[in-house]
Amino acid sequence: MKLYKAVMALLMSATIVLAQDVPSGFVDLQKAVPTVVVELRYSGENNFIGKPIDGYEARICYISTPAALALKSVQEKLSLFGFGLKVFDGYRPQRAVNHFVRWAKDLSDTKMKAIYYPNVLKSELFEKGYIAARSGHSRGSTVDLTLIDLATGKELDMGTGFDFFSPISWPTSKEVTSQQRANRLLLRSIMMSQGFRPLEEEWWHFTLANEPYPTTYFDFVVR
C-alpha cells in the first residue's frame, strides 16, 4: 500500500511537457551509438495495434543523453563476446501512450491479438497492467531491447517476442527453456551493470536508475 501511494504521488506531481523540437537533453541513439540496431516498432505496423502509433513520424530512436552513454557502454562490453543490442523503443511521446489507451478501450479491435496477446482478454489489459495512462518511456530514459549475434544479425532466443502480453514474458518465468532464461539473464545482468534497472514483468524493458527527468513526461513528436 505504501508503494502504491508513493507511485500515485509521483504521478500526481508529474509534469507533461509539450514541445515542437527535440529537447537539448535528448539524442538520436543511432548517431550516438552507430553500432546499435534500431527497429522502432511503433513507427510501423509490426506492433500490438498493427499500425503506426501517434507521435512516431520517423524511424528515429530518441533517448536522454545519459541513457545513450550508458547504452554505449553496454554495446562495447557486449561486442567483446560477439553480441550487440537491437532496440525496439526508447523515448515514447505521451500522445503515443494516449493512443494505446484509446485502442485498449475499443474492444472490437483485436487485429493483432493472435500475435501479441493470444491468452489475455483485451478487456483485461488495463487490469493486468499491460496498458497504462503513463509510461516511463515518455521520461526519455527507458528502453526496450534485445540481444543480437553480431556475426549474423539474428536475435537471441528470449522465449517470447517483444511486447508479448503474458506472464511468460517475465524475466523469471519458468515456462521458457534454460537457454532462453540464460539469454534473458545475460541481457539483464549487463544492463544492470551499466546503471539500468529492469522491469519484473518484461524481459526487454529497462530504465536508467539515475534518469535525468524522473517526473517529466515529454510529448515532442518523433520526426
Q: What are 36-80's pLDDT values in tens digits? A: 999 999 999 999 999 999 999 999 999 999 999 999 999 999 999
Report whether CATH 3.30.1380.10 matches the domain 15-218.
yes
pLDDT of residue 13: 59
Question: What pLDDT band is residue 7 in, cutting at 50, 70 and 90?
Answer: very low
- The answer, yes or no, to whether residue 3 has pLDDT greater than 90, is no
Name which of 161, 20, 12, 179 is nearest 88 in CA terms: 161
Question: What pLDDT band is residue 5 in, cutting at 50, 70 and 90?
Answer: very low
Per-residue exposure over 25-35, b if at least 16 CB sit within 10 Å of its own CB, e if not: ebbbbbebbee
Q: What is the mean pLDDT of residues 93-121?
A: 98
Among 39, 127, 202, 211, which one carries the catalytic annotation?
202
Our answer to whether residue 124 is catalytic in this structure is no
Domain coordinates in residue numbering, the chain: 15-218
- The answer, yes or no, to whether residue 146 has pLDDT greater than 50, is yes
| C-alpha dihedral sign at 209, 190, 46, 27 | positive
pLDDT tens-digit profile of 162-195?
A: 999 999 999 999 999 999 999 999 999 999 999 9
Model-level pTM greater than 0.85?
yes
